[in-house]
Structure 1
Amino acid sequence: MFRHQKELQFEVKVDRPDPMLARQIQEVLGGQFGEMTVMMQYLFQGFNCRGEEKYKDMLMDIGTEEIGHVEMLCSLISQLLDGASPEDQAEAAKDPATAAIMGGINPQHLLVSGLGGLPTNSNGVPWNGSYIVASGNLLADMRSNLHAESQGRLQVARLYHMTKDEGVRATFRKMLARDRYHQYQWMEAIKELEEKNGVVVPASFPPEAEKESQPEAYEFWNLSEGTESEEGPWATGSAPDGSGEYVYIKDPIAKGQIPNPEVPNTALHHDLTRKKVLSK
C-alpha cells in the first residue's frame, strides 16, 4: 500500500524562473539515469524480491523515497517555468538577451504539460521501461543499483554547476547527499552478498561447472595496440575470489574455426552463391 503525504521530503524553492534550466533538469527526472529510472528499478526489484525480507524492505524503502524525489523534481520544474508563455518564447526570437533565457524552453512544457514536469529527458525523449534492471538476482541487481546511483549523482553534480540559483542548488545538495547515502547502501549490500556467495554472478554456476573452459576465466587478451593494459591489477595477480591467477596474453591467437554457414533456399531471393571454404 502506498500513501501520499502532501509535504515534500525536502524544501523546493527557486530564486527566479528559468525555463532553460527546467529543460535541463528533465534529464535527471526522465532520462536514462533519472529519478524515474531508479524509482521504477528499486520498486520492481522489491515487488519481485523473494527470500530474505531485509533486502525487500530496503528496496521498498529506497524505491518509495525515489517516488518523493520525482515529485520534488516536478515541483522544481514547475517553479522554474512560472510565468512562461507562448508569447515569451515568440518574443525570445526577437531579443538575443531574452533568448539566452527563454529561447531554450522545451516547447512541450508549454504544449503538453502546461508548465509542469514531463516523463521525458532533456531532449523530450520519453522515459523507457527498458532503462530498468530487475533480474531477480540480488547481487546483479545491487550492482546495477550502484551504477544507476553513480550516474544519477554525476548528472545532478553537473547540473549544480550549471546554475547560480541558490534555491535550486539547495535542493540539489539534498539530492546529492541522498544519492551518496544510497551508494553506501548498495555498497554494503554488495559486500554482504559477495561475502556470502562469492563475487561472480551467478554464484549458483560455480567455476567447476565451466569444466575445460576454466583457463579462459583468467586470461587477459591484449586485442588493441600496445601493452599498457598489462599494467593494471586486472591482468596480473590473483582473482578476487582467490580461485586462480591472471595470465596476460600479449599476442592472442584465435582458437575457433572460420564460419561456413549454409546458403539459404533461393526462394529467399538472397542472390548468394555457394563458396567453398578450404579446410586447413
Structure 2
Amino acid sequence: MFIHMKELQYRAKPERPDPVFARKLQEVLGGQFGEMSVMMQYLFQGFNCRAEQKYRDMLLDIGTEEIGHVEMLCTMIAQLLDGAPADEVDKAAQDPLIAAALGGMNPQHAIVSGLGATPTDSNGFPWNSRYIVSSGHLLADFRANLNAETQGLLQVVRLYEQTTDAGVRDMLSFMISRDILHQNQWLAAIEELEAIDGPVAPASFPRERTVREATRQFINFSVGEESRQGPWASGPLPDGTGNFEYVENPQARGGAPELKPAAMHQHSMPGTGPYVANEGRGLK
C-alpha cells in the first residue's frame, strides 16, 4: 500500500507567478524524461521484479520518492500560475511588452486545467507509457534508469539557468541533488551486476552461436579514420573475451540479393477483370 503525507519532501514555493516558466516546468513533469516517467519506470520495474529482494526494495524506494517529486512539481506549477486567470491575461496582453512575455504561456493551463499542472510535456503532448522501460532484465533496466536520470538532470539544470526566481531555483537545486544521487545509485547497482554476469546484457546467449569476428570488429563505415583513435577501436574488450579490431575497408560478405518473382495470383474485383501479378512489372 502507499501512504501519502501532506508535507512535501522539499520546499516548492516560487517568489512570484510566472506562467511562462510554468509551461517550461511541464517538460520535467510530463515529458519523456520527466518525473512521471521515472516514477512509473521504477515502480513497474519494482512491481515486476523477480530477482533478489534488495533490488525490488530499492526500485520501490526510489519510485515512491519520485511520486513525491511529481507532487512537488505540480505544486510549483500551480503557484507559478497563481494570479494569471484568463481574464487577467487578456487585460495584461493589452500591454505589448507583457503580451510578448505571456506569449509563451500554455493556454491549456487557463482553459483546460484551471491553472493547474497537467500530465503533459511543455508543448501539451500527453505523457504516455511508451516512455518507460521495464524489461524484467535488471542490468538492461538499470542502464535505462541511468539514462533517464542523466537526461532528466540535464533538463533540470537547463531550467535552473533559465530562471532567477530564488524559490524555483531552491526546488530545482534539490531535484538536481537527488538526480545526482540516483545516478550514483544506478551506477553502483550496474557495477554490482556487471561483476556477476559481465557488462554485456543479456549474458545468457551462447557465444559459440555468434559470428565471432563480428563481436570484436569496429568497422569504419564512414569517410575518415579519426574514430580509430578511441578505446572502442583497439585494446581489450570490456567483457574480457578478446581485443577490438579496427577494420579500415569493410567488405560486403552477403552477396547481392535476388528475390524470386511474386507468385501468380488472380483476384476478381467487382466491375473489373482479374488482376494478375506480372513478373517484374507489378499488376495488370
Q: Kindly tell me: are residues 68 and 223 of structure 1, through their superposed partners in 2, closer, same or farther at Cα, counting changes over 3 Å? A: same
Which ranges of structure 2 fall in alignment gaps of 5 or more residues?
A: 268-274
C-alpha deviation, 1:92, in angstroms? 4.7
Superposition deviation, residue 105 in structure 1: 1.1
Deviation string 1:214-249 (CA, Å, 9 cap, x unpaired) is 110000111111001101100000101211111111
AA matched with 2:232: W
Residue of structure 1 in register with 2:174 after alignment: 174
Report the TM-score, using the length of structure 2 for normalisation.
Answer: 0.92
Distance 1:267 1:38, change over 3 A: farther
**Alpha-carbon spacing, 1:267–1:125, altered in 2? closer, same or farther (3 Å):** farther
Q: 1:274 aligns with which of 258, 269, 280?
A: 280
Opposite residue 175 of structure 1, the aligned amino acid is M
Aligned partner of 2:153 in structure 1 is 153
Q: Which amino acid aligns with 2:246?
A: Y
The 1:220/1:86 distance shift into structure 2, 3 A limit, reads same
Q: Which residue of 1 aligns with 2:186?
A: 186
> Which residue in the other structure is 1:278 paired with?
none
Deviation string 1:134-157 (CA, Å, 9 cap, x unpaired) is 000000000000000000000000
Q: Which amino acid aligns with 2:123?
A: N
- Alignment partner of 1:248: what SS? strand
Question: Which of 217, 220, 223 pairs up with 1:219?
Answer: 217
Counterpart-to-counterpart distance in 1, 2:77 and 2:30: 12
The change in CA–CA distance for 1:216 and 1:85 in structure 2 (over 3 A counts) is: same
Structure 2 counterpart of 1:35, one-letter code: E
Matches within 5 A, 1:8-19: 8-19=8-19
Question: How many residues end up aligned between the 2 structures?
Answer: 273
Tell which structure's C-alpha radius of gyration is larger.
2
Sequence identity, in percent?
58
State the 1:85 CA deviation. 1.5
Distance 1:126 1:89 in 2: 24
5 Å-filtered alignment, 1:50-69, equals 50-69=50-69
Change over 3 Å in CA distance of 1:267–1:189 after alignment to 2 = farther
Matching residue's letter, 1:105: M
Cα deviation, residue 266, structure 1 = 5.3
Could you tell me whether the CA contact under 8 Å between 2:30 and 2:37 is conserved in 1?
yes
- Bigger shift: residues 263-272 or 247-256: 263-272
Q: Match of 1:261?
A: 259
Contact 1:28/1:155, CA 8 A, preserved across alignment:
yes
Superposition RMSD in Å: 1.7
Residue 242 of structure 1 aligns with an amino acid whose one-letter code is G
- Superposed counterparts of 1:222-261, under 5 Å: 222-261=220-259
Give deviations 1:43-71, integer Å, cap 9, x for gaps. 00000000200000000000000000000
